[in-house]
Amino acid sequence: MIKVKCNCGGEFREQTVEFEGFDVKGLKCSKCGELTFTPEQFRKILALKELAKEVNSTRKVVKIGNSLGITLPKAINALGLKVGSKIALRLEDRKRLQLVVA
């Protein structure tokens, strides 16, 4: 556990925080809410942003046997996905379907 004091007198605690639309590990002050990152956390955020540039895309629905399917961009390999990997589908509303790496 990383313990760093904030300028306000509070203490930074490592937790999952939302930053630029991503859920990432960061250090948040328990008192004022100030957010900061360790160099390692920041390096992971940059890598995630680079990956998102390649993964975020529009895919065409294709027919696979009697089912509908989509192909995934090659960059998705960085998530450790391979043939046979499980992905959970979660319907959020009629326009949004979330894919969660299981």
* Residue choice 28, 29, 37, 76 for contact with Zn ion (CB under 5 A): 29
The reply to whether 14 sits near Zn ion by the rule CB under 5 A is no
The reply to whether 59 sits near Zn ion by the rule CB under 5 A is no
The reply to whether 5 sits near Zn ion by the rule CB under 5 A is no
Beta strands in the chain (DSSP E): 4-5, 11-19, 22-29, 35-36, 62-64, 67-69, 87-93, 96-101
* Residue choice 11, 13, 25, 34 for contact with Zn ion (CB under 5 A): 34
Contacts of 70 (CB under 8 A, 6+ apart): 59, 60, 61, 62
The reply to whether 13 sits near Zn ion by the rule CB under 5 A is no
Query: Is residue 75 left, alpha or beta, with left meaning phi > 0 and alpha meaning psi from -120 to 50?
Result: alpha
**Residue among 8 and 70 whose Cβ is closer to Zn ion:** 8
Residues that bind Zn ion (CB under 5 A): 6, 8, 10, 29, 31-32, 34
